[in-house]
Structure formats: structure tokens, C-alpha cells
Amino acid sequence: MEIELLKDFTKVVRESTIKRLIKVPEGYEHWKISKGSLSFAEIAKHLIDLDEWTLRKIKEPTLKAIETQTAIMDSCTREKFLQLIEDLKYTLEKKTEIFRFNKYKRFKS
């Protein structure tokens, strides 16, 4: 039951993020609210990096912490931004597959 709640929560949160990213107007993909903050594209890339790290961490428990600077981009085209959104959908699928696989198992602490 707990695993289903976690799966549902993960899916709802990610779908909400994707829904909002899709609404970013063309030309604003790399806009930042302030110096030092992440752009919309960098936020998407950061989430992808975290998802990929999480999936690897599950397979390799000794994996070291992620370096968040990997999300920093110099620029982002609309085409690249839309690909990032597709990549977010893909990593969501991969994460929910893990929940299905672990449906009857408990996560180890």
C-alpha cells in the first residue's frame, strides 16, 4: 500500500511539473528569475539528472551523491527544451516501473 501511495505521489508531482513546463512560451526556455537561479530548461535537466541518479543509486547503493552543476546550460533551443520534457516523461516511466517491481517488497533503509 505504501509503495502505491509513493508511486502515485511521484507520478502526480512529475505530471504537474511537465504540464507547467509545456506552458513555457517559446523563447523563454532559458529565462531565469534572477542571476544564480535555474532556467526552465535547467530545472528540467536537473530533474532528469536526479531521476537518472536515483535509478542508478537503487542498482548501486554505494554510488556517491550527485553533482547538481550538471544541469547548467549556456542556452536552450525550443527543440532541445521539448526533448527535455520528453526525457522527463521517460524517466517518470522508469521510476514507476521500479515501484511496480517492488510492489510486494519493502524498501531497505
Domain ranges of the chain: 2-101
- pTM for the model stands at 0.83
Model confidence band, residue 82 (pLDDT cutoffs 50, 70, 90): very high
Q: Is the pLDDT of residue 105 over 80?
A: no
The more confidently predicted of residues 4 and 80 is 80
- Over residues 56-61, the mean pLDDT reads 89
The proportion of the chain whose per-residue pLDDT surpasses 70, expressed as a percent, equals 88
Specify the fold of 2-101: Four Helix Bundle (Hemerythrin (Met), subunit A) (1.20.120)
Contact 34, 71 (CB under 8 A): no
Q: Is the pLDDT of residue 34 over 50?
A: yes
Report the alpha-carbon distance of residue 82 to residue 6 in Å, rounded.
27
Q: Is the pLDDT of residue 7 over 50?
A: yes
